[in-house]
Structure 1
Amino acid sequence: MAAAVAISSTVKYGIIGVGMMGREHLINLHHLRTEGVAVVAIADPHVPSQDLALQLAQSFNWPLKVFSGHRELLESGLCDVLVVSTPNMTHYEILMDIINHPKPHHVLVEKPLCTTVAHCKEVVNAARKRQDILVQVGLEYRYMPPVAKLIEIVKGGNLGQVKMVAIREHRFPFLVKVNNWNRFNVNSGGTLVEKCCHFFDLMRLFAGANPVRVMASGAIDVNHKDEIYDGKVPDIIDNAYVIVEFDNGSRGMLDLCMFAEGSKNEQEISVVGDTGKGEAFVPESIVRFGTREKGRDGVHTLKAEDDRIKYDGLHHGSSYLEHLNFLSAVRAKGGQAPAVGLQDGLISVAIGVAAQLSIEKGRFVPIAEVMD
């Protein structure tokens, strides 16, 4: 892929959507300023979000041009790179506008890529025609130091052929977002798309294979049941079990609970191969791995750290490393593909959509069913 965006010595960023995650990106990019980056523009129709972003930028001595919409930002020609961190249901329209704009812009888009498989596929197909831009999907859990270390252990063959991947996320409920958009499936794609595309992406990465079919059970049991917005009660599930079968015979399982604040770790990941087992714990940042041959006494325990991280932020430094990686791809001018591409984003959404459908229908859902 030939990246044709004209990059000066300073890479100029624009952030589309400066709610909580957009401002998180702004702070991460500030900590990357020594790498030659600057945020020069933002776009958001929500004035309180604009004001909070401006306050941050002023504290960084970064003058910002403020736009109420992404199209005005695009037309300004101010930016080399765009970060899309708007509500999920807006990703499709914004991405299509960016990809089809005459001026090329590299893009880092927050997960999920889009809320439907059909929209994801349209974005993928449109981007294939633009060999002059890079698009990376914000599946930043890959960069969390303990997860990255476990990926390294697995890819190094230390566990043999991966057979089972189990991921537990026990955490707090969804946070309040602007206009409470994340309380409804139609906006977010559903909990298993909105939140869990991260984990389906990791399962696929650990398994080294593509998904074949999905079975899930989930419900709304505790959270948001007493909330009403414009006369409507939220319909997002707050707990689920999901089983994913892959085309190499391996299987993945997700155990999700969003009313489990009383947990030492928010994420626990177990990967078992035919010769060994590895585990990662977040936020403890502990990794354990051992072999069948050496047994319990041979299990190694280490603290996973990454000295490159200058800002931990909301995701234990993974967003900082994500930006560092993407900046490297941008500067490579076509010599380096994004680490997390559009196909990764598409498949992670497809698994989530299949899981949501499985809960609705009470049956296994083939990935081919949602891809078609």
Structure 2
Amino acid sequence: MSPSSSHPRETSIGLVGAGRRARTHVRELFRLRDQEYLGQNPDDRLLDHPQPLYETYAGTRPDWVEDVSDLRPTVTAVFDPDEEARATTVALCLECGDGAGADDRDEPRAFDAYERFLEEGEYDAVVVSSPNHTHLDVVRPLLERGVDVLCEKPLATTLEDHDELVALASRSDGVFYVAFNMRSHPSYRRLADLLEADVIGELGMISCREVRMPFPDGHYYTQAESGGSLLEKNCHDFDLMNWLVDGDPTRVCAFGGQHVFTENTDVNDHAVVIVEYDSGVRASLDLCLYAPYGEQNPEYRGYRDYVFRGTEGILEGVPDGSNAWKLYTRRRRETFEATGFPGGHGGGDYVQLRNFLRCVRGEEAPPATPTDAKKAAAIAIGAERSIRDGTIVEIDSNYDLLFE
């Protein structure tokens, strides 16, 4: 493996894992590369590309008019043991404009063995989207080589593996970016600003309900490979709660099991989780992975909604894709909308990869640390343990689980 010693204008990206999530990252990388700050046609600039107006007449410039023309990502290496996955992802890169004929680059090089990817691949940074249980073995040699890495969540399926990744990241010269894209989601960034401004006073309770389609086929249905549905799906939510609460989780209790998906799987398809923080905040999460909806029910296609309750009011998410929050106090009713971004997860995927590329260039720091990832995992793994054993699980200051 021979990563570049510096990060030129064009940043080359290696992919580890070439499945569905990796292809989402590919689309967002090329969306970033193809953003036109000023526009090719001068006549279109004022309508489609208003950035020059902000530069000329405004004292500050909002995020949505940020110049990203210096971020020129290209995919140069793809590893996946599955031949079809590799071919599909390479074809997507070419469809998006990568490869021969695009700035005289060769097409992304595909690898069927990880050792060859490490030794022969050419890249400035790596995006890891392989199954959860492979992350430690995949990331370890990259961090030991000082490669900048964005790793999908959860970082690992056990707290012990999280500890090793925390240690590896602390010794590495490379950036280790945890892909908690809810921290980059415009709606939740807006929420963080509102809570920081104390619009609801002192936060006391958080409620989250998530109803969604079943997991895709594959490792998601194996506890040992996914870490369980609450780790796979809701480490995002537990990280969001940890981020917004002024305190650490100390206890978790959960109820759940298998209601519909009971054959050939040991993964829960529903759960109710309660988390207690040392600051006194209580949080709850409901997860349902089997609700019937889809194209036949366009008005009910699954959702994640949040309610934050404080001493002075309530902030309630609007589950309609508008990235808005409704504020209710005794004398005030107001709706706060967040800046929209293109791309998946309400723009969170786009913003996350933009931020990662800025980190690779040494211009920003990752919004979440490996320790943050362990903290979220402690809640998820503790909740899975609570469901299994019928107990309340305590979490210590190192985010390890305590048992009687």
Q: Kindly indicate whether the alpha-carbon contact (under 8 Å) linking 2:254 and 2:384 is maintained by their aligned counterparts in 1.
A: yes
Letter in 2 for 1:16: V
Amino acid of the residue matched to residue 91 of structure 1? H
Matched, 1:293 2:330: yes
- Residues 265, 275 of structure 1: alpha-carbon distance in 2 compared, 3 angstrom cutoff: farther
- 1:302 Cα deviation (Å)? 4.0
After TM superposition, the structure 1 stretch with the greater mean CA deviation from structure 2, 92-101 or 189-198, is: 92-101
Gaps of 5+ in 1: 227-232
Q: How far has the Cα of 1:285 moved from its partner?
A: 2.3
**1:27 to partner: Cα distance:** 0.9
> Structure 1 residues 83 and 282 mapped into 2: Cα distance closer, same or farther (>3 Å)?
farther
Q: Letter of the aligned partner of 1:212 in structure 2?
A: T
Q: Is the 8 A contact 1:276 1:289 kept in 2?
A: no
Q: Which amino acid aligns with 1:95?
A: V
Runs of 4+ aligned residues of structure 1 deviating over 4 Å after TM superposition are none
The aligned residue for residue 277 of structure 2 is: 246
Aligned counterparts of 2:401 and 2:165: Cα–Cα separation in 1: 14
Kept in 2: contact 1:71–1:97 (CA 8 A): no
Give the TM-score taking structure 1 as reference length.
0.88
- C-alpha contact (below 8 Å) 2:318/2:326 kept by paired residues: no
Match of 2:360 in 1: 330
Going from structure 1 to structure 2, the CA distance change for 1:284 and 1:61 (only over 3 Å counts) comes to closer
3-state SS in 1 of match to 2:198: coil
Aligned partner letter, 2:303: E
The answer as to whether partners of 2:14 and 2:121 remain within 8 angstroms in 1 is no
Counterpart in the other structure of 1:90: 134
Asked if 1:167 is matched to 2:208, the reply is yes
How much has 1:282 moved relative to structure 2?
3.9
| Structure 2: stretches of 5+ with no match in the other structure | 34-68, 99-106, 294-299
Structure 2 counterpart of 1:342, from 362, 366, 370: 370
Residue of structure 2 in register with 1:55 after alignment:
91
Query: What is the CA distance between 1:147 and its match in structure 2?
Result: 2.3
Number of equivalent positions: 347
* 1:5-16 equivalence runs, <5 A: 6-16=6-16
Deviation, 1:190, is: 0.5
| Contact in 2 for aligned 1:96/1:126 (Cα 8 Å) | yes
Tell me how far 1:354 sits from its aligned partner.
0.4
Residues 67 and 264 of structure 1: CA distance in aligned 2, closer, same or farther (over 3 Å) = closer
SS in 1 for 2:89: helix
Give, in whole Å, the separation in 2 of the partners of 1:116 and 1:58.
37
Q: 1:42 is aligned with what amino acid?
A: V
Which digits, 9 at most, give the CA deviation of each residue in 1:250-285, with x for residues without a partner? 011001111224436511011111112112234522
Assess if the C-alpha contact under 8 Å between 1:98 and 1:105 holds in 2.
yes
In the aligned structure 2, how far is the partner of 1:273 from the partner of 1:264?
30
What is the rounded CA distance, in whole Å, between the counterparts of 1:5 and 1:258 in structure 2?
45
Aligned to 1:68, which of 112, 134, 159? 112
Q: How big is the shift at 1:24?
A: 0.8
1:106 to 120, 140, 148: 148
Question: How far is the alpha carbon of 1:371 from its aligned partner?
Answer: 4.5
Larger radius of gyration between Structure 1 and Structure 2:
2
More displaced stretch, 149-158 vs 250-259: 149-158
SS of the aligned residue for 1:293 comes to coil
Contact (CA 8 Å) 1:146, 1:281: kept in 2 or not? Answer: no
Q: Among residues 139, 157, 161, which one is paired with 2:180 in the alignment?
A: 139
Shift of 1:155: 1.9
Contact map agreement 2:314 2:327 (CA 8 A) in 1? yes
Structure 2 match to 1:32: 32
Counterpart position of 1:127 = 169
C-alpha distance in structure 2 between counterparts of 1:288 and 1:106, whole Å: 35
CA deviation after TM superposition for structure 1 residue 162, in Å:
1.0
Superimposed CA distance per residue, residues 278-304 of structure 1 (whole angstroms, 9 cap, x where no aligned partner): 12234522433335331xxx2212443
SS where residue 318 of structure 2 aligns?
strand
State the partner residue of 2:305: 268
Q: Could you give the per-residue CA deviations for residues 12-45 of structure 1, whole angstroms, max 9, x where no partner exists? A: 1111001000111111111111421111111101
Distance 1:81 1:159 in 2: 41
* Match in the other structure for 2:228: 190
